[in-house]
Chains A and B, each alone.
Chain A
Amino acid sequence: MSRPLVTVLAALFALAALAPIAVMLARIGSGDLAGLFDARTFTLLGRTVVYGVASAALALALGVPFGFLVARTDLPGASFLRPLGLVPLLLPPMLLAMTWTVLIDLRGAPAAILVSGAATFPLVALFVARSAERIDGRIEEAALLAGGLRAVLRVDLPLVAPAALCAACIAFVFTVNDFSVPDYVSWVGPKFNVYADEIFATWRQHSEPGRAVATALPLIALTLASLLPALALRRRRGALAVQGGDFRSPEPLRLGALRWPALGFAALLVILAAGVPLARLVWEAGGGQRGWSADGFRSAMGRALERSRGDLANSLVYSALAASACVVLGLGLGHAIERARRGRWLEPLALLPIAVPAVLFGIGIVVCWNHDWSARFYDGGGLVVLLYVGRYAAFPILVMSGAVAMLDRSLEESAQLAGVRPARRLARIVAPLLRPALLGGWILVFVFAMRELDAAILVPAANHTAMFRIFNQVHFGRDDFVAALALLLVFLILLPGILWSLFGRRRLELLP
């Protein structure tokens, strides 16, 4: 791997992603760490860990069968259920909480775990589906001859386990960094407070800037502590296929009599986690409790589109630019993590932006870029793109490093010996072969950038994005407008994925 190229990309990543974090961490004074751990924060942290582990376990329990069923079996309608299973990932978990608490009378910790587990199961399903498709067909056939479907599952499960656990760790990270769900589901009865609440509350007070950063440290440490093992797990790929090597795609497994119960499970999951929240949005857009009507729905959608056309366009442009830039970073740095000497050091650094709270990152961006020389840039859309890149480049970097690890090394070596320069090898050999992973990384960044709010709120030009517009209206109480805009946003986020699944020849590779 070319050293100048990696250096340039690493410098860009440091500028976009690490500099804002560094300036914030530099604020911590020695006094800020004292008193960080009293009995109260330990209680909060402990509860947060239990909450995160429980909902990650639920995400596993739902995501492993779902992912395997839609990817590898003759489940009726699998190709339809598979993209729908992604929808919960695109909706704010809060929407799921609001919908479910209307349907069933669940409160407190069990409700929070249920909602978070359902909101993050698509991650597990996604990872499991991808790795299940990489099992060599011959391994399965051998098992099938030895003991039928049961034996196949016994062979396959350990093979997809690392990917599943990796996804569960990411689900854990998402869960412990969110406080809106636990808060919402405990509005009556004992309050279910988590550590993310503490961070949010501490940021409200500006008298001790260092302390606010210090308060975030335990959660950052917790996040990294759960992500690093996830990555280590990912390297134990076992018998998964290597790209470019000798590989036979596995055949769809026949479920036989289990087909219909399996369909029941998958369909129910999709209906509860995606269909019901979306239906609620449709209901609210059409008038909600004050009486639903198709006319009301049409006019709300029309109004949302008309009033926020500019914001939607901005969101699309910023997110697409950020996704494209991230893919370039991901290709270069993800490759370096796997192939360059000492490349592994990049990995924990790449994770850091996922681990820090959004508000900390947003303020870091302000501190980094609010200078006279950068004044025009600070006010413009470029800063929004930079923020998205900084916050989400980690995803394509990890996706690509995983994909490069699965790429037969000799494909690059043969090009190297033929005299092909490093950048050209990356562009002509690695990139085309890993195109699905590149596209997958692009879509991940696009999705998260489209729904980014918490850090973007601090950046001037992010005022003119769809997500900002939605949350700006929430307080206003115009629920029909908000719901209509949210539906539009979900549609726009899903659009690239839908187009790909309609016209793309190969499956998206989102698996790190």
Chain B
Amino acid sequence: MSAAAVLLRAVSVEAGKARILGPIDLAVAPGEHMLVAGRSGSGKTTLLRAIAGLARPSAGKIELFGVAASEGPRLLLAPERRRIGFLFQGGALWPHMSCARTLDFALRASGTPRAEVARRRGELLDWVELSGYEERMPGTLSGGEAQRLALARALAARPRLLLLDEPLGPLDAELRGSLLARLGALQRELDLTVVHVTHDPDEAAALASRTLRLEAGRIAAEPREALR
């Protein structure tokens, strides 16, 4: 049996003296699409940040695909080497870079040879239906377009693991459907592991292989088993 894509053992995260997450044990299998639900302040985003290495756990062990990523507050694998795609709440697009430059920058950073950058950028833009938006600046994009660009950027580094933080938040119903369809395609074709944080588990239930509910930083229940 292959190692879990994400494995957390007794991980907790503290801010100052307050514990905002954990202790938590969790295993996500490769190819799984796990939904993490919970109210705001329940530690959902912190969980994603701990997996990505952006938040330092105060205790516990994190493994990614069988490799130790952090142990207590020590980062054994730097965030930039974890091959994680992260879709931030609000997008976190670089306001000074056009769509094309955003993707080029991310592609170059993940080691794409210069000669291949233009082609891969084209493919990514094509896939998120932003062809022709190359010179547009993020400030001029609509909510849905921005979210799609952020998704393309997250995929540029060829992640093994995709972390989604409220990806449907700013979108209206129609756009939600199209983004969900896209995420579903990703998962089907690539067997990408996804951890998907949402305050409304119903919206993405169709995609989820498993749903986890967080309450006050602890796992409260796994109300629904695989609905494939």
A417 B157 Cβ-Cβ under 8 A? yes
A432 B96 Cβ-Cβ under 8 A? yes
List the B residue with the shortest CB-CB distance to A341: B56
Q: Which residues of B contact A408 (CB under 8 A)?
A: 92
B92 A428 Cβ-Cβ under 8 A? no
B157 A410 Cβ-Cβ under 8 A? no
A417 to B82, CA, bound (A): 8
Q: Which residues of B contact A411 (CB under 8 A)?
A: 92, 94-95
How many A residues, CB 8 Å from partner? 20
A244 to B91, CA, bound (A): 11
A14 at the interface (CB under 8 A from B): no
A410 to B150, CA, bound (A): 12
B106 at the interface (CB under 8 A from A): yes
Instruction: Tell me the A194-208 residues at the B interface (CB within 8 Å).
Output: none
How many B residues, CB 8 Å from partner? 27
A233 at the interface (CB under 8 A from B): no
A42 to B82, CA, bound (A): 60
A417 B96 Cβ-Cβ under 8 A? no
Known: A417-B80, A420-B105. A410 touches B95 (CB 8 A): no
Q: B154 → chain A, closest Cβ, in Å?
A: 8
Interface 1/0s, chain B 66-107, versus A by CB < 8 A? 000000000000011110111011101111100000000110
B80 A420 Cβ-Cβ under 8 A? yes
B110 at the interface (CB under 8 A from A): yes
Partner of A418, one of B90, B95, B96, B110: B110
A424 to B105, CA, bound (A): 10
Interface 1/0s, chain A 402-415, versus B by CB < 8 A? 00000010110111
A416 to B88, CA, bound (A): 13
Interface 1/0s, chain A 426-448, versus B by CB < 8 A? 00110011000000000000000
B109 A413 Cβ-Cβ under 8 A? no
B88 A244 Cβ-Cβ under 8 A? no
B153 at the interface (CB under 8 A from A): yes
B36 at the interface (CB under 8 A from A): no
B88 A428 Cβ-Cβ under 8 A? no
A138 to B227, CA, bound (A): 44
Partner of B84, one of A244, A415, A417, A421: A417
Known: A420-B109, A432-B96, A433-B96. A414 touches B90 (CB 8 A): no
List residues of chain A with CB under 8 Å of any chain B CB.
244-246, 408, 410-411, 413-421, 424, 428-429, 432-433
**Sampled A-B contacts (19; CB under 8 Å):** A410-B92, A411-B94, A411-B95, A413-B92, A414-B94, A414-B150, A414-B154, A415-B94, A415-B106, A417-B84, A417-B154, A418-B80, A418-B106, A418-B153, A418-B154, A420-B80, A420-B109, A428-B105, A433-B96
List residues of chain B with CB under 8 Å of any chain A CB.
52, 54, 79-82, 84-86, 88-90, 92-96, 105-106, 109-111, 150, 153-154, 156-157
